[in-house]
Amino acid sequence: MLHVSNLRKSYSEGSSQRDVLSDVSFIINRGELIVLLGRSGSGKSTLLNMISGMDVPTTGSIEFEGQDLTNMSDTARTLFRRKHLGIIFQSFNLIPTLTVEENILLPLELTGTANQEQRQLALDVLREVNLGDRGDSFPDRLSGGEQQRVAIARALAHKPSLILADEPTGNLDFRTADTVMDILQRLVHDERRTMLVATHDRDIIRLADRVLELQGGKLKDVTPAAQHEAAQKEAAQQDVEAADNASPGV
Amino acid sequence: MALSILGVALGVAVVVGIDLANSSARTAFRLSTETVAGRATHAIVPGSGLLADDTYRNLRADSGLRNAAPVLEGHIRAGSASGPVLQVLGIDPLAEEPFRSYTGGPEGELDLGAFLGPQRTGLISRSTAQGLGIQSGDDLTTFREGKSSSIRILDIIDPDPGFSEASLENLIVVDIATAQALLESPGKLSRIDLILSKEEQGDKIAVLEDVLPPGARIEAASARSSTLDQMTQAFSLNLTAMSLLAMVVGMFLIYNTMTFSVVQRRGLIGRLRGIGVTSSEIFGLILGEAAVVGLIGSAIGMVAGVALGSVLIDLVTRSINDLYFTVRIQDLNITPLGLAKGVLVGLGTTVLAAFAPAREATRTMPSTALRRSEDESRLEARRGLLAGSGLILGILGALVLRTSGESIAFSYVGILFVILATSLWVPFLVDSGSRAVRPLMGRLFGVVGRMAASGIHHSLSRSAVAIAALTVAVAATSGVGIMVDSFRTTVDTWLRYSLEADVYISPPGMVFRRNDATIDTAVEERIRSMEGVSETYSVRTAHVLIDGRMSDLIVTEPRDSDLEPGRYKELPDFDHREAMTARDVVMVSEPYAFRFGTQVGDFLEIATSDGPRPFEVGAIYYDYASDLGVVQMARSRYEFHFDDRQVSGLAVYAADGVDVDDLIDNLTSVTANDQGLLIRSNRSLRQASLDVFDQTFTVTAVLRLLTILVAFIGVLTALMALQLERAREISVLRANGMTPSQVHRMVTTQTGLMGLLSGLLSVPLGLLLAWLLIFVINQRSFGWTLQFEIDLMVLGQAVLLAVIAALLAGWFPGRSMSRMNATEALRFE
Amino acid sequence: MIRLIPLVLLLLAVGCTQPPDALEMEDALNLAEAMGGDTLGYARAVGPKDFDFPSDFGAHTDFKTEWWYFTGNLRSEDDRRFGYEFTLFRSALRPPDSLASPSDWSTNQLYMGHFSLADPETGTFHAFERFSRGAAGLAGAESPPFKVWLEDWTMESTATDPSSLFPLRLQVAEEEIAIDLTLDAVKPMVLQGERGWDPKGEGNGNASYYFSFTRIRTSGTVTIPYGQYDVEGTSWKDHEWSTSALGDDEVGWDWFALQLDDGREIMFYQLRREDGSQSPFTGGTLVNADGSYRHITRDEMDLRVEGQWESPLSGAVYPSGWTLTLPGEDLTMRVTLVMPNQELNVSVRYFEGAIDVEGSSNGEPITGVGYVELTGYERPTS
């Protein structure tokens, strides 16, 4: 469904060029849950910006449902995004001047096609995230967890092909994160929707089909999640042993 | 920050410009009276008209009076009938020495024979000569009351050291003989200047007063210029008030900008507090910043103000010229004081407006920055409190207006309170208004509309201030506009019923509204007896001493329409028209009654040709020609008491079947050779009067425009601040599929809604201001009764103006918001 | 005698030819210069003429210059001595023309008045000057009845017969100094020169019409800051008019009016030339007690200067004493000033001094009073 080929994004700093992303290629298939790993500065945000169509690469292509995003105008990409993408941000990013219901319907409202059926759909999604009664409230009345749930609902309401999420549980406490996790699992994973998540959350990684790791702008590894976890465990084990050997008589 | 400097600069420019124009105009009169008064301590002035010149001879020859100088003054136009006005100063060079000196180089000598002789000769200053394009030795053609003459320029004079070049500007010094010939006043003087030492004053004045002719009196020199000042006091005060309004609007602007800059640097401030900077130091920092903005803005404003002033001085002097008295057009007089005032105003209001934001800054906790939303919720919570204080302030304002009595300055203070009170209501009203209108906006514009409406009350601290500024500015404009329209309608109505004759004839005069020029008697005869003329009524305008003040006396012949009650404010219980011809009864105009507290039944002491006489006030009539106030007397009484038989104007009725335009042509051809008269139809005289009216208000139009401009900048800064703060929100919207043009439309809808709210709020405030201007300010300035005309067009235009101003202000921020890279504020980490 | 405004001598070509530069119109209005100037267009005294009195007592406006001059020596009851001079000058600013003006103030005539009072007892010399235009009733000269005035300085006939000059009244006041005198001539008029035509320089028309009343009984009051005094004494009157009387080379004159106690009067003037020599036009008149008179030529009179006085104000050095001898009449007169400083420092500067005469006639001692006028002694302006 999503083909990323030879993606390169570079910025000029003075006389030299700096590559934020270089030669990134991968495929995401329908129904997959992919986790994107990488430290700060690894180019994660840039990659997500490209895929969502909010930015364009220097070279390379991004093919989404058969259409090349890199050849489209800003407005075309926006419309595309509006139709096919759902985005969940780390800091909720609800529109404060819209009610919860209006926030959820935002993409549809922007298209101007929010008819009765779709409204019903939105309410359904809201109920799915257990906020069915909060439709008329404004975001500043909701707690952090509630806001994130609304954000998820918004990302799903227009039935997008691909959902992008950036640290969806990053700002939440353990308990709330759990709830959100549940929802993600239920509404995304179980429904076999395609999702690309940037996260460090172990539970999400465990759910993932594959793990993409970015290091210094290059795609380092593309491993199945289970393998990744195993690899992590092993790495951790080695660290402990090394520590033991290093300090005698403890 | 640059925009706020611009806003301050504009406000200061307006204040400085008006102030300079006003003070320059005042300096012009002062200079002209001072130059002309010289070192005289007193003057012998006539009761009415001019002094007989044998008074001077008697004083010299019989009373042995030494330090006395005869003066005959007047005005002429140089070059052509519409050429520049020159003040004629007729003197006796032999008596002048202690009074005035015009010094110059070591070479020149006055050709006394040429100066005193029968040929008309004169002296002018260098700059006047340059201005007229003539030199010493040239002949200057002069025009007065439709007749032309010629003066040979004998020499160039320079002013006394200590007097500026400006004191001789547009002045021509001639011999008394030349002046009497030129001004057609043989045997007359304007006054006799005296220098009386302190010791002499008491006795000498008493002795002299005994030998003076009836009606003449001795006046101290200082009294004369203060009279001129008083005449225009109301006029210049009102102008100043308008200019200060621009500054008030500017205050909103500053408040917004300073608040924004505080918010922007919240993090910095927090860190500063963290490293130990005290809150009072923060306070000082913000205020200091405001002071710098104020200083730079004031500096730019001063320069702009000087430029503006030189445009306005022309308008102001011309208005004064048309309304009050002749003034020689002067260049702008830039005084350090005037500029200092501008800086003070600019700096003062900036610091004042920055006060609240500075205080806010001190509340920043050292640890984390307060969330922006908490600011907002604080304002939202406070809006009720603000509205309450607005109410109190409004009541206070009403009290001030009530108790300020006659003081115009205090009335403006009251109005200021009212304006501020309304501003305090804005947060509450805007909040409720935007909430209420949200569903409608949604229906009209979809989600964009809803966001626009909510956006307003969501960032109330930004939007309310911008809306307040725009509301005040638009309300001021529409308020003044309604006042001017009401005024104009009243004047127009009055002109329609006052001007009944077909043709109006008068000699061209220097002051449109107080023309005391005269029509040649022979010419008058010819007009009266001309074929096609059925009736003629004369008017005489004279300047006469009434109750110790020089006032305008209008002398008219009675007409049937005089009895129409609609013309009168107050009538006696007898036939006043009959009384005015039978006894010593006069009428006074409404402004006169206002200025001097005159009522029907009071007595006025009028200095007639044979001494002062009491005249009973029979009626008070409406008159919009002059705010100085006039007294009206019947011709027959006038001729009985005064030696003057001249007329200043004739109102002519065409005979049946005679075409008015033909009549005008005939009249023109019959009189043209003797005296160039203004012969106008009823319609064109009415138009000319309205033109003068309109021109007077040109100044206010300029000011209104500038005030809107300041408000515009205020709105612009608010929107730009909003833009910066919504960057993240915009990104989210874009991420969710909002196209750039949709973003633009959202911003536009929001600013449009803000404009609409401003416009709607400006309507009641504008009406209130108009009411206050008409019934308080005007009443206390001039005493006129004006019809309150609420022109819905004006109000509609005000709302439209607000919307357009807001849309325009929003265009640029909207565009840059839409162009914003969607990823800018968004971080995926 | 000739009493010309000294600065006429300067004859500056002023007026039209000056470059149009800025103007001086204060203090010394350079009136004297205004009164000088071009002499074209005026009537000139070209020869003797028949006078027409009383109208010739008045002004002759077609001539450029004219004056009515009175001097006198007065004594109060307690023998306090005073000397006075009161002169009204008329000067035409422009030649006569036919231009008219609707204003009374328009005029071609300028009037100047000089009044001086010598008070030898206190050693004070008061001198005043006034100007006025000859129009609008401010100044003028008329006859009959005779009246010459400048504002409130008046010379006016008080005779019941309007054509009569005497008795006349002089009234002058300035600050605290005033005189109010009644004058009556005791001797008939003396026509100076040739029947009243008195040539003074080379060239046609360098002459004046000139007559005098050489002995006039005077009484009235003199007011000074200390008080008012009743006085009596003798006055002298000159009336002269001309257009440029002096020749080009003449710089000034010394003029004497002596009233001797034997009833005779002597008028004598010495015209001084540039090179210091005496002009041939020097001369005078001797009036006998019976009123008959004859011309005195310069050869008949021997004039010697007996002293000098330098003015602290102007720096001019004036002669301060003389001996006049008329050998033909066996008359020797020592002339001394009643007080040294009698210089008038007004817009024209000259010396007008009351004098005492002491001498002998035919061996008999005689005394007398009189006045001396000295002009043209200023230091030349650099």
Instruction: Round the average pLDDT of chain B to a whole number and report it.
Output: 80
What does the pLDDT read at residue C14?
A: 26
Amino acid found at B805: A
B403 within some domain:
no
Q: Is B181 on the interface with C (CB under 8 A)?
A: yes
Tokens representing B84 are 């520049």
Query: Which residues touch B728 (CB under 8 Å, ≥6 apart)?
Result: A93, B825, B826
Q: Which of C28, C50, C35, C31 is nearest to C4 (CA)?
A: C35
Cβ(B704)–Cβ(B773) below 8 Å = no
Residue C23 and residue B155: Cβ atoms within 8 Å?
Answer: yes
Tokens representing B428 are 């509450």
- Which residue among B61, B102, B107 sits closest to C19, beta carbon to beta carbon? B107
Strands (E), B217-361: 217-220
Residues of B in contact with C18 (CB under 8 A): 107-109
pLDDT exceeding 70 applies to what percent of chain B?
87
Annotate C343-354 with b (16+ C-beta within 10 A) or e (fewer): bbebbbbbbbbb
Q: Does the pLDDT of residue A246 top 50, yes or no?
A: yes
- Which residue among B105, B112, B137 sits closest to C21, beta carbon to beta carbon? B105
Collapsing DSSP to helix, strand or coil, C363 comes out as: coil
Bigger pLDDT: B718 vs C109: C109
Q: Are residues B129 and B242 in the same domain?
A: no
- Which residue among A45, A97, A166 sits closest to B454, beta carbon to beta carbon? A97
Q: Which of B161, B190, B214 is the last residue of a domain?
A: B214
Amino acid found at C28: A
Q: Residue holding tokens 């909720």?
A: A92
Q: Is B98 on the interface with C (CB under 8 A)?
A: no
Q: Do chains A and C touch (3 or more CB pairs under 8 A)?
A: no
Residues of A in contact with B827 (CB under 8 A): 45, 90
Annotate C200-236 with b (16+ C-beta within 10 A) or e (fewer): bbeeebbbbbbbbbbbbbbebebebeeeebebebbbb
Q: Are residues B82 and B203 in the same domain?
A: yes
The C-alpha of B72 sits at a distance from chain C's nearest C-alpha, in angstroms, of: 12
pLDDT exceeding 70 applies to what percent of chain C?
87
Residue A166 and residue B828: Cβ atoms within 8 Å?
Answer: yes
Determine the average pLDDT of the residues in C279-306.
Answer: 88
Task: Name the pLDDT band for C15 (thresholds 50, 70, 90).
Answer: very low
Q: Which domain holds residue A27?
A: 2-245
Q: Are residues B184 and B294 in the same domain?
A: no
Q: Can you say how many angstroms the Cα of residue C82 is from the centroid of all Cα atoms in its chain? A: 18
Q: Are residues B140 and B264 in the same domain?
A: no
Q: Are residues B230 and B366 in the same domain?
A: yes
Q: Are residues B231 and B104 in the same domain?
A: no
Q: Is B199 on the interface with C (CB under 8 A)?
A: no
Residue B813, judged by CB atoms within 10 A of its CB (0-12, 13-18, 19+), counts as buried
Instruction: Give the whole-angstrom CA distance, residue B516 versus residue B649.
Output: 9
Query: Which residues touch B234 (CB under 8 Å, ≥6 apart)?
Result: B408, B627, B781, B782
What does the pLDDT read at residue C235?
A: 95
Q: Where are the domains of chain C?
A: 6-14+26-374
What does the pLDDT read at residue B329?
A: 56
Cβ(B102)–Cβ(C25) below 8 Å = yes
- Highest-pLDDT range among B254-263, B451-460, C22-31, C72-81: C72-81
Tokens representing B702 are 């300029």
Cis status, amide bond into A160, omega within 30 of 0: no
Q: Does the pLDDT of residue C113 top 90, yes or no?
A: yes
Query: Which residues touch C271 (CB under 8 Å, ≥6 apart)?
Result: C200, C201, C246, C250, C252, C253, C278, C279, C281, C282
Q: Residue holding tokens 């999604």?
A: A125
Q: Does the pLDDT of residue B82 top 50, yes or no?
A: yes
Task: Name the pLDDT band for B521 (thresholds 50, 70, 90).
Answer: confident
Residues of A in contact with B435 (CB under 8 A): none
Count structural domains, chain A: 1
Instruction: Give the whole-angstrom CA distance, residue A82 versus residue B738.
Output: 8
Instruction: Output the domain CATH number for residue A105.
Output: 3.40.50.300
CA angle A211–A213–A215, rounded 5-degree value: 180
Q: Are residues B240 and B202 in the same domain?
A: no
Q: What is the DSSP letter of B167?
A: G
Helix segments in chain A, DSSP class H: 44-51, 74-84, 100-104, 106-111, 116-128, 144-157, 174-183, 202-207, 225-246
For B434, nearest residue in chain A (alpha carbons) = A97
Residue C103 and residue B178: Cβ atoms within 8 Å?
Answer: yes
Collapsing DSSP to helix, strand or coil, B450 comes out as: helix
pLDDT tens sequence across B421-445: 888 888 888 888 888 998 898 888 8
Q: What is the DSSP string of B180-193?
A: HHHTT-TTEESEEE
Residue B94 and residue C133: Cβ atoms within 8 Å?
Answer: yes
- Identify from B376, B447, B451, B458 which residue to disrupt to test chain A contact, counting A C-beta atoms within 10 A and taking the largest count: B447
The CA-based diameter of chain C, rounded to the nearest angstrom, is 66
Q: Is C40 on the interface with B (CB under 8 A)?
A: no
SS3 sequence of B354-404: HHHHHHHHHCCCCCCCCCHHHHHHHHHHHHHHHHHHHHHHHHHHHHHHHHC
pLDDT tens sequence across A200-236: 777 777 778 888 888 777 777 666 666 666 667 777 7
Give residues 47 to 86 of B whose Cβ lies within 8 Å of C.
53-54, 56-57, 60-64
pLDDT tens sequence across B1-27: 677 788 778 878 888 888 888 777 777
Q: Is A82 on the interface with B (CB under 8 A)?
A: yes
- Which residue among A45, A95, A98 sits closest to B829, beta carbon to beta carbon? A45
Instruction: Give the whole-angstrom CA distance, residue A98 versus residue A116.
Output: 19
What does the pLDDT read at residue C196?
A: 86
Residue B111 and residue C16: Cβ atoms within 8 Å?
Answer: yes
Determine the average pLDDT of the residues in B618-634.
Answer: 85
Residues of A in contact with B438 (CB under 8 A): none
What does the pLDDT read at residue C20?
A: 24
Residues of B in contact with C102 (CB under 8 A): 180-181, 186
- Chain C: list its partners (3+ Cβ pairs within 8 Å): B
Instruction: Give the whole-angstrom CA distance, residue B40 versus residue B56.
Output: 16
For B827, nearest residue in chain A (alpha carbons) = A45
Q: Are residues B54 and B172 in the same domain?
A: yes
Q: Residue holding tokens 């909510």?
A: B454
Cis status, amide bond into C54, omega within 30 of 0: yes
Query: Would strands C331-337 and C317-326 be described as parallel, antiparallel, or unpaired?
Result: antiparallel
Tokens representing A122 are 């939105």
Instruction: Give the whole-angstrom CA distance, residue C203 versus residue C205.
Output: 6
- Highest-pLDDT range among A144-153, B522-531, C118-127: C118-127
Rg (Cα) of chain C, in Å, rounded?
Answer: 20
Q: Are residues B249 and B281 in the same domain?
A: yes
Q: Which of B627, B661, B676 is the last residue of a domain?
A: B676
Query: What stretch of H or E contains B685?
Result: helix B682-696
Q: What is the DSSP string of B768-785?
A: HHHHHIIIIIHHHHT---
Q: Which of B336, B370, B404 is the last residue of a domain?
A: B370
Residues of C in contact with B106 (CB under 8 A): 24
Bigger pLDDT: A186 vs C248: A186
Q: Which CATH architecture has domain C6-14+26-374?
A: Beta Barrel (2.40)
Cis status, amide bond into B84, omega within 30 of 0: no
Residues of C in contact with B156 (CB under 8 A): 20-23
The C-alpha of A192 sits at a distance from chain B's nearest C-alpha, in angstroms, of: 22
Cβ(B246)–Cβ(B13) below 8 Å = no
Q: Are residues B69 and B144 in the same domain?
A: yes
Residue A110 and residue B827: Cβ atoms within 8 Å?
Answer: no
Collapsing DSSP to helix, strand or coil, C221 comes out as: strand
Q: Does the pLDDT of residue B184 top 70, yes or no?
A: yes
Residue C151 and residue B61: Cβ atoms within 8 Å?
Answer: yes
Q: Residue holding tokens 């008209």?
A: B49
Q: Is C159 on the interface with B (CB under 8 A)?
A: no
- Identify from A37, A48, A93, A97 which residue to disrupt to test chain B contact, counting B C-beta atoms within 10 A and taking the largest count: A97
Tokens representing C272 are 């001084």
Residue B735 and residue A166: Cβ atoms within 8 Å?
Answer: no
Residue A82 and residue B740: Cβ atoms within 8 Å?
Answer: no
Q: What is the DSSP string of B593-644?
A: HHHHT--TT-EEEEEETTEEEEEEEEEEE---S-TT-EEEEEHHHHHHH-S-
Instruction: Round the average pLDDT of chain C to a whole number and report it.
Output: 83
Residue B373 and residue A110: Cβ atoms within 8 Å?
Answer: no
Residue C152 and residue B60: Cβ atoms within 8 Å?
Answer: yes
Residue C99 and residue B135: Cβ atoms within 8 Å?
Answer: no
- Which residue among C14, C18, C93 sits closest to B116, beta carbon to beta carbon? C93
Q: Which domain holds residue B620?
A: 508-676
Instruction: Give the whole-angstrom CA distance, residue C207 versus residue A153.
Output: 130
Residue B181 and residue C101: Cβ atoms within 8 Å?
Answer: yes
A250 within some domain:
no
Q: Are residues B41 and B61 in the same domain?
A: no
The C-alpha of B118 sits at a distance from chain C's nearest C-alpha, in angstroms, of: 5
- Contacts B–C by Cβ distance under 8 A: 159
Residues of B in contact with C14 (CB under 8 A): 109, 111
- Highest-pLDDT range among B418-432, B765-779, C172-186: C172-186
Q: Does the pLDDT of residue B107 top 50, yes or no?
A: no
Query: Which residues touch C305 (CB under 8 Å, ≥6 apart)?
Result: C319, C321, C322
Q: Does the pLDDT of residue C122 top 80, yes or no?
A: yes
The C-alpha of B186 sits at a distance from chain C's nearest C-alpha, in angstroms, of: 5
